[in-house]
Amino acid sequence: MIDLSGNIAIVTGAARGIGQAIAEYLAQLKATVVVADLHGDDAVSVAHAIVERGGSADGVAVDVSNAASVADMVRTVAERHERIDILCSNAGIFPSARIESISEDDWDRVQAVNLKGAFLCVRACLPHMRRQRHGRIVVTSSITGPITGYPGWAHYGASKAGLMGFIRSAAIEVARDGITINAVLPGNIMTAGMQNVGAEYIRETERSIPMGKLGEPVDIARAVAFLVSDNATYITGQGLVVDGGQTLPESRLAVS
């Protein structure tokens, strides 16, 4: 059993979906969780629900694409809790548009939230982790971009592939400070956003997954919990694919 007692964990994009599942799961493992989200009221509501179930949490508003907002969040967490042990940089957006329809502003917005946002959060937390000589960082990448592609997600895939390049170099920079940085690469996970794409897409996707079903947000949360635990102290700069085997088959013929 993983025990995160005494750890202060920031989870961004934690008011819903995968981020909420990560926050709730880390709280179950006894971490004190800071639920951070662009929608501050929703973040507070998720934190309140965690506390009602016996966990320890508070909520803060943050725009991860804005350096001043990220700095304010980290400052607030440090003042409240006096340390930062875990950062789960999960906040992300996934609009769909074909290349000809992507404006420069659309492209920049996806990169700002998904890629720049992770950089800003990591940069802001590093001084605290370095002083402690300990820290665990996990970013949420995706199979889309680093491994696979899908029409309409060129900007999204680029941002998620960029995260993998970022963590590899970052891991080397911080290794001597007792800090690890890794990524989870979710496949298709049954979140509210996934439900919005329609039942036919979900059915077709399930047919391509060897396990025959989409993942649940808690499947990603469990992977994150492993990477921030003492079980993963010698793992850094790596990506953990959590996709039910979706990226394994050479073709649909292999899945029956």
The residue type found at 26 is: L
* Category of 209 on φ-ψ map: left (φ > 0), alpha (ψ -120 to 50) or beta: beta
SS3 140: strand
State which H helix or E strand residue 100 sits in.
Answer: none
Residue in 92, 209, 87 with CA at minimum distance from that of residue 142: 92
Sheet order of strands, 239-242 included: 56-61, 32-37, 8-12, 86-89, 135-140, 179-186, 239-242
Residue in 159, 179, 163, 188 with CA at minimum distance from that of residue 239: 163
Q: Which amino acids are annotated catalytic?
A: 156
* CA 147-150-153 angle, 5° bins: 100
What secondary structure does DSSP assign to 61-88, as a single string?
E--TT-HHHHHHHHHHHHHHHS---EEE
SS3 148: strand
Q: Give the separation between CA 163 and CA 115, rounded to whole angstroms.
A: 6
Q: Give the separation between CA 140 and CA 182, rounded to whole angstroms.
A: 9
